[in-house]
Amino acid sequence: MSLSQCRLDRFISQNLNISRRAVRLMLAKKRVRVDGLIASEIGQIIDKFSVIILDNAILQANIPTYIMLNKPTGVISATIDDKHKTVFDLLNTAQIEGLHIVGRLDLNTSGLVLLTDNSRWSQSLTLPGKKVAKRYIVTLENKLTDQYITAFEQGMYFEFEDITTLPAKLEIISDHVAQVTLVEGRYHQIKRMFGRFRNPVVKLHRSSIGNLHLDENLNPGESRVLTADEVNNISKNTGN
């Protein structure tokens, strides 16, 4: 159980200053709802964004924060750093408290970075089993061929980790530019995959995560709050 989680009976007991036995009776009488559903288990695990209602009284209804940032190159995906500007340095100070990064980008990679204080949402995007697609525009030093498409589809064996990457989709946009779609995030995966062809990556830019595309109106270093539709639909299966 994380520090932001606790048992339902403990939360109600502490907030109303009543015994857990009294809480058990409330649940038996179906007086408590968690996220719109009648609660029946006293040991149910809740977090700070669980909406908890007793009768018609709201005991908790915190609103999560969701931010889209257009990360420039030269900015590190970290909270603090002694040498480089961080993504948090680009945000308004009022936005920072409690936020964490959803899927980091390395120093020289630009594009879409998400930040939130809702760990349930971030886990739904980053856990390996979720297989949420991430798309990158890659500029290469050498010319691309159809051989790249086949190799990415088949996956590549990484000896250091002793794993074979999941199938990735590569679309050739021009002689030196490709769009790559991954459903995992191995260490420097894209650079290492192109490294098999001895083709250095000149520029790497993340354009989308799931159904969410980087806002074209955001200049490098700028950010905005996500809409409710963007939050709810980012990982939905659109059938594409």
Q: Please give the single-letter amino acid code of residue 223.
A: S
**Beta-carbon neighbour count of residue 90 at 10 Å?**
18
**Pair 12, 52: CB distance under 8 Å:** yes
**Pair 77, 71: CB distance under 8 Å:** yes
Active-site residue flag, 89:
no
At residue 18, the 3 state secondary structure works out as: coil
**Beta-carbon neighbour count of residue 2 at 10 Å?**
8
Q: Which of 55, 81, 89, 106 is catalytic?
A: 106
φ/ψ region of 55 (left if φ > 0, alpha if ψ in -120 to 50, else beta) reads left
Catalytic residue numbers, as ranges: 106
